[in-house]
Amino acid sequence: MQHVAVHPPPDSMTTDDVTTLPELLRWRCHRSPEREAYRQYEAQVWRRYSWREVETRVERWQAALAGEHLVSGDRVAVLLRNCVDWVCFDLAAQSLGLIVVPLYTADHAENTADILADSGARLLLVGHLDQWMALTRYRTRLPHLSHVLCLEMPLTLVPDTGARVSFVVQWLPGEAPPQINVAKDPHALATLVYTSGTTGHPKGVMLSHANILSNIHAVLRHEPIEQDDLFLSFLPLSHAFERTAGCYLPMLTGSCVVYAREISTLGEDLAMVRPTILVSVPRIYERIYARLQQQLAERGALTRALVRWTQELGWRQFQARQHRGTAPGRWDRLLRLVLQYLVARPFLARFGGRLRLAVSGGAPMSVTLSRCLVSLGLPLLQGYGLTEAAPVVSVNRLNDNVPESAGTPLPGIEVRLGEQNELLVRGPNVMMGYWNRPEETAQVIDADGWLHTGDQGRIEQGHVFIVGRLKEIVVLSTGEKITPDNVEMVLIEDPLIDQAMVVGEGKPYLAALLVLNARAWGAMAQRWSLSTQDPAALADERLQQHIENLCRQSLARFPEYAQVRRCWVTLEPWTIANGLLTPTLKLKRPAIEHRFAEHILKLYVGHLSPV
């Protein structure tokens, strides 16, 4: 690649003049070079990076990539956990006109190989050699891949795998010329982000610089983000939601991003980092809520009453702030202050104690959960988006927050309902199309530019509500139609149930596969003098009766045909590793149905048997 001399952005340059993502980075580095940009855990200490240091590191990545035999438009892939080098590689590659293909570190090697093959990636950056070795069994599928970069140095010799393997510490130059940028066209392809593939092979979503930049500008106009805000990043950067809202957005605002160590240490990191902004999927909030419910179940009636009062008063106070109810009286305000100290403050301390915004997206959140979190004082803003929309479409605002909704559309984005109440989206954030799939692109983006999301919704007073998926509707043999998501979200609100999937296509009634919470089941088994090590304990009639009662009570507000009649229970979680969740933590319904086909059959033939 040929280096192109450029000059620093002029002081008069505004964000409106930034037309590509590499220009955004250069603009930010010039505006606040000494401010803290990133913080990550290295060699047992938290290392801080200023924007000047980031710029210098990007220059080294650029120089090294420019030395490869790549041309503008070539695809390069990244298989790293969140870190500063992920961002530097991303922006350096884009500045040279290369198209970045993010990969999930938790994904199966075969899925990763499929994406590498479909995209025709020529270069791959991995965190450690084992990640590449796991892919070598699919080497014949990857004729274009010629160079593998490894961030960590291995302790053993590198076997011959048919591709050149280099180690970043040796490959990066010690110094490099000033940052360059050949990416000038805002409508050029910047990245290929593959969908998570809940029902089939993932598709490469083509996003331009303009798609992503328009989205972060719209988010900023919708809800202000300040330079002093502190983000804690733990969703993978390969997730479009995290990359846009947790990387490019804070780059625009000059906010600092702290990379969490691991999901397992997220609680410790929240307490230590004390972020002001948290970007997450509902699953993280569900886990915190489940722990709260379990702790309440183990404590006395007084504690449960205090939490209930806190929620009731908190919800009334929240509604009053949103101008949807009367303000609490003097006595209620005094009681609220006491309960705030006893209940709400300790709960919010789990998030660090100073959250200004807690954003949830990527999947719908149950009404019960969203109201509970808001009533306890969490500034929760639920939103809606999809990779094909770069990805944010709508989100609530602090002063216009309907927690059970997905908020109002971002400025410049249009939404409307199509046939079968399908949510349609139009705006500058809508993707260029699917990589090498023109027919499928034409199916989802119509002649008028409307993106057909596949999600069913409703729009009330400007707020978007997501009610289900067009392709995930269960049709019973009676002809009744049920959206399984709605039933599943209610079931997992109970602390005994960690995961749930509803089945019943073509059957006379609904049934469910349930993954029990090990801790909650352990407490229940102890009360019944059952051994949690004995699989037969899951067949105990008392558990079956409890599950039946739980389903009946939880789904009391649902119509008769939407009641779950039978359940199969297990303690083995559905995970990315066992192929039952996508990298974005969504259920792989066909895979789960296939894995447990025998158990599903028993739910409709003869007596219910959980083992």
pLDDT digits (tens, 9 = 90+) for 213-253: 999 999 999 999 999 999 999 999 999 999 999 999 999 99
Query: What local confidence, expressed as pLDDT, does residue 533 receive?
Result: 86
Most confident of the following: 80-84, 285-289, 294-298: 80-84
Q: Work out whether strand 408-409 and strand 392-395 pair parallel, antiparallel, or are unpaired.
A: antiparallel
**Mean pLDDT in the chain?**
91
Question: pTM of the full predicted structure?
Answer: 0.85
The amino acid sitting at 585 is L
Question: C-alpha angle with apex 465: 410 to 363, nearest 5 degrees?
Answer: 85
Sign of CA dihedral 99, 455, 356, 232: negative
Please report, to the nearest 10 degrees, the dihedral formed by the alpha carbons of residues 534, 535, 541, 544 taken in order: 130
Angstrom distance (rounded) from CA 194 to CA 95: 21
pLDDT for position 12: 54
CATH of the domain spanning 473-604, picked from 3.30.365.10, 3.40.50.1580, 3.30.300.30, 3.10.50.40: 3.30.300.30
pLDDT of residue 314: 92
**Phi (first) and psi of residue 445, to 5 degrees:** -120, 115
Range scoring the smallest mean pLDDT among 135-149, 220-234, 323-337, 479-493: 323-337
Would you place residue 197 in the very low, low, confident or very high pLDDT band (cuts 50, 70, 90)?
Answer: low
Residue type present at position 62: Q
The DSSP secondary-structure symbol of 419 reads G
* Choice between 362 and 52, residue whose per-residue pLDDT is larger: 52
Higher pLDDT, 297 or 379: 379
Q: For residue 534, is pLDDT > 90?
A: no
Distance separating alpha carbons of residues 59 and 62, to the nearest angstrom: 5
Q: Which part of the chain is CATH 3.30.300.30?
A: 473-604
Alpha helices in 100-190, H assignment, sequence order:
109-119, 129-133, 168-171
What share of the chain has pLDDT > 70, as a percent? Answer: 96
Check residue 5 and give its pLDDT: 40
pLDDT level of residue 328 (50, 70, 90 thresholds): confident
pLDDT class for 478, splitting at 50, 70, 90?
Answer: confident
- Half-sphere CA count of 51, side-chain side, radius 13 A: 20
At residue 401, the 3 state secondary structure works out as: coil
For the chain, how far is it from start to end, CA to CA, in angstroms? 61
pLDDT at 13: 57
pLDDT value at residue 608? 39
User: β-strand 451-460 against 463-469: which pairing, if any?
Assistant: antiparallel
In this prediction, residue 41 carries a pLDDT of: 96
SS3 281: coil
What is the structure's pLDDT at 236? 93
Compute the distance between CA of residue 86 and CA of residue 583 in angstroms, rounded to an integer: 18
DSSP codes of every residue in 57-88:
HHHHHHHHHHTSS--TT-EEEEE--SSHHHHH
pLDDT over threshold 70, residue 603: yes
Where b means 16+ CB within 10 Å and e means fewer, 311-347 reads: bebbbbbbbeeeeeeeebeeeeeeebeebbeebbeeb
For residue 340, give the DSSP letter: I
Specify the pLDDT at position 485.
86
Least confident piece of the model among 14-23, 119-128, 484-493, 590-599: 14-23
Q: What is the pLDDT of residue 3?
A: 42
Question: Is 177 a residue whose pLDDT tops 70?
Answer: yes
Handedness of CA 602, 608, 609, 610 (dihedral sign): positive
Within 10 angstroms of residue 460's Cβ, the number of other Cβ atoms is: 9
Across the range 281-298, mean pLDDT stands at 82
Residue 196: pLDDT band with limits 50, 70, 90: low
Predicted confidence at residue 599, as pLDDT, reads 92
The predicted pLDDT at position 186 comes to 97
Q: What is the pLDDT of residue 129?
A: 94
Highest mean pLDDT: which range of 59-68, 194-203, 294-303, 547-556 = 59-68
Per-residue pLDDT averaged across 536-556, rounded? 92
Query: Is residue 69 a contact partner of residue 47, using CB atoms and an 8 Å limit?
Result: no
| pLDDT digits 0-9 by tens, 442-475 | 999 999 999 999 999 999 999 999 988 887 888 8
User: 331-335, 336-340, 547-551, 576-580 — which is least confidently predicted?
Assistant: 331-335
pLDDT for residue 440 = 94
Provide the pLDDT for residue 385: 95
Q: Which CATH class is domain 29-184?
A: alpha beta
409, pLDDT greater than 80: yes
Q: Which of 74-83, 190-199, 474-483 has the highest mean pLDDT?
A: 74-83
Contact by Cβ (8 Å): 126, 149: yes
Using DSSP bridges, classify how beta strands 510-516 and 497-503 pair: parallel, antiparallel or unpaired.
antiparallel
Q: Alpha helix locations (H) across 134-248? A: 168-171, 209-222, 240-243
The answer on pLDDT for 121 being more than 70 is yes
Query: Is the predicted pLDDT of residue 611 greater than 50, yes or no?
Result: no
Nearest Cα to Cα of residue 408 among 324, 325, 465, 364 = 465
314 vs 160: which has the higher pLDDT: 314
Q: What's the burial of 546, exposed, middle or buried (CB within 10 Å: 0-12/13-18/19+)?
A: middle
Residue with the two structure tokens 């779950």: 564
Q: Check residue 499 and give its pLDDT.
A: 95
Burial label for 385, CB within 10 Å (0-12, 13-18, 19+), is: buried
For 4-22, write each residue's pLDDT tens digit.
444 455 555 566 789 999 9
Query: Which pLDDT does position 8 carry in this prediction?
Result: 55
Q: What is the pLDDT of residue 553?
A: 93
The single residue listed with the structure tokens 């309440």 is 296
The answer to whether residue 607 scores a pLDDT higher than 60 is no
- Residue 224 to residue 207: CA distance in whole angstroms: 24
Location of each CATH 3.40.50.980 domain in the chain: 29-184
Residues 356-371 have pLDDT tens digits of 999 999 888 888 889 9
43: region left, alpha or beta (phi > 0 left; psi from -120 to 50 alpha): left
> What's the pLDDT at 68?
95
